[in-house]
Structure 1
């Protein structure tokens, strides 16, 4: 129940108490365009190496979603193809949002990722598990499945990167243990996307496709499978 409350609070769904219970309940069950609520997944992460991460209060260790978002963006820049700087800006605005538009997928934590530091506990130890949520803001269409793109990008990020301080020393590495579908329609099993051996790791890292942005309106990206062969 607490996870559900945290999710609803962070989704920032606008309600009016004068509308009554039924109307407001329907709001949290539907998306911003009036359709049934968009997909959401719960993702369990596990640290492979120690994580050093703080918020504004450096006396508390904290798992920070902002660092995870930065890792996703950096991974996107490293793995995907861009024609020029303008192409990068357009694609990142479409996939991650900007000052004018929200990101198509919201990333939140379960609110239990902050712990008071003890004298000898200045970091999260390997084996520590965290829960995050990917909440779809923009529905998939014929060109783009934003939720699945974010999940794949997170998997790729877990292979080549890390979060927190001293990543260059190997700190902050993590793996994805489970992806739980919290949507009403549970026909999709996102766990099948998680690689479980060396071969699937390599394929996942190389399975980037090519993103083509419709430069006429900057509102559509098509992903096509790359023709590059894995050596």
Structure 2
């Protein structure tokens, strides 16, 4: 069994709790779930059975495949505080919850069973990628529960603002070009005008149009964050503003999440990462907005408007 030790810290409040839904804790089950959900939105496998088969090979399943990896949290050092989860309201008492506070540190031991799954380097990079594109706990699509991860042997990947997107696109393309049904095709993601986008190659577009599930459309970085609390407040206010002021096309539903016609998770994932030179940067990930086989916000107008609320706020 191979072993790798990673270390990290919490960079936005983590509202994660166990069965009682009250006591804040760092839950490895949520970290594993984040790795799986990142795989699903990153993979361009169209057939559901094939997607599930590949996911099972990588991360295990409940019936046939034990997980090829084991995760263990050690040497934790964090503070638990009660904080408001929603910051756009003047009276935040109703949204007060325990959270793991910013600055908490930990080590994660990654163990991999030999001859199963991918290489341990793959899982190391996938953990790091997942931590860049998502968070843990409640409101993880609204920049809560964001963490950093790095190996102890190589504490910095030297992911500056300039090298971050190229590294992300390398991981996304590496996953997809190794898939049997997609091998020998062009890389599905490219960097264009400072954003990760779908490759305009006709074969890739043909595959893209077949997806009836959330798959990454584009990723780009926001302005460096000066004050994390102010930024999170801007995110919450923007989530409120988009429902209040944005005028939807007739008969459409919000692509940034809605409950009026059935629950729909936001197709805009907002996370925060920290570069190797210590800069906090927002990461905006657009996934295909599929609601009961309808495609919402195809031109990204709604999601871009929400980001403008965030980025242009004082």
Q: 1:135 aligns with which of 91, 99, 111?
A: 111
Structure 1 residues 225, 44: CA separation in 2 closer, same or farther (over 3 Å shift)?
A: farther
Structure 1 residues 166, 229: CA separation in 2 closer, same or farther (over 3 Å shift)?
A: closer
Aligned to 2:70: 106
8 Å CA contact retained: 1:110, 1:131: yes
1:134-190 deviation digits (Å, cap 9, x = unpaired): 1011337xxx743111111111112211001111331101112x313xxxxxxxx55
Q: 2:14 aligns with which of 44, 51, 62?
A: 51
Q: Counterparts of 1:64-143 in structure 2 under 5 Å?
A: 64-98=27-61, 99-110=63-74, 112=76, 122-139=98-115
Structure 1 residues 96, 160: CA separation in 2 closer, same or farther (over 3 Å shift)?
A: same
Aligned length: 175
Structure 2, gaps ≥5 residues long: 84-96, 193-314
C-alpha displacement at 1:212, in angstroms?
4.3
Q: CA separation in 1, counterparts of 2:81 and 2:35? A: 30
C-alpha displacement at 1:195, in angstroms?
4.3
Q: CA separation in 1, counterparts of 2:66 and 2:21? A: 29
Q: Counterparts of 1:125-164 in structure 2 under 5 Å?
A: 125-139=101-115, 145-164=118-137
| Structure 2 counterpart SS, 1:168 | coil
1:14-53 deviation digits (Å, cap 9, x = unpaired): xxxxxxxxxxxxxxxxxxxxxxxx2211111211100011
C-alpha displacement at 1:68, in angstroms?
0.3
Q: TM-score, normalised by structure 2?
A: 0.49
Q: CA separation in 2, counterparts of 1:72 and 1:119? A: 28
Q: CA separation in 2, counterparts of 1:133 and 1:172? A: 20
1:165-220 deviation digits (Å, cap 9, x = unpaired): 111331101112x313xxxxxxxx5546x3420132102211122254569xxxxx
Q: TM-score, normalised by structure 1?
A: 0.64
1:43-73 deviation digits (Å, cap 9, x = unpaired): 1121110001111244532100000001000
